[in-house]
Amino acid sequence: MQFIVIGYDGTDDKALERRLAAREAHLKSAKEWYDAGKWLYAAAFLSDDGKMIGSMIVCDFPSRDDLEEQWLKNEPYVIGDVWKKVKVQRAQAAPFCSDV
């Protein structure tokens, strides 16, 4: 089952600092999920001046509960208080974008 996960960073003065502090762990985890076939695509949202302000991930988990239990509760951007709001929406990638 595919999902789009959107993580919105905080807007306070320390938001970018928290993101950068958790970024290495987030990217390591992201690579592991991608290699396992769970993450299909991901991108950072940028402000008009090019600063990272959020994230978008298209992923594949057996269920939303599995997504939350296996990934989100351990996601460095969640643990590191980077994402202040997370939206999870069931989705379906176009057939040419995924072998799933």
Domain that holds residue 42: 2-93
The CATH number of whichever domain residue 19 belongs to comes to 3.30.70.1060
State pLDDT tens for residues 30-44.
999 999 999 999 999
Residue 98 lies in a domain: no
Q: What is the pLDDT of residue 68?
A: 97
Residue 99 lies in a domain: no
d(CA 100, CA 88): 19
Q: Does pTM surpass 0.85?
A: yes
20: which 2 tokens? 């950068």
- Residue 34 CA to its chain's centroid (Å): 11
57: which 2 tokens? 């991930």
Number of domains in the chain: 1
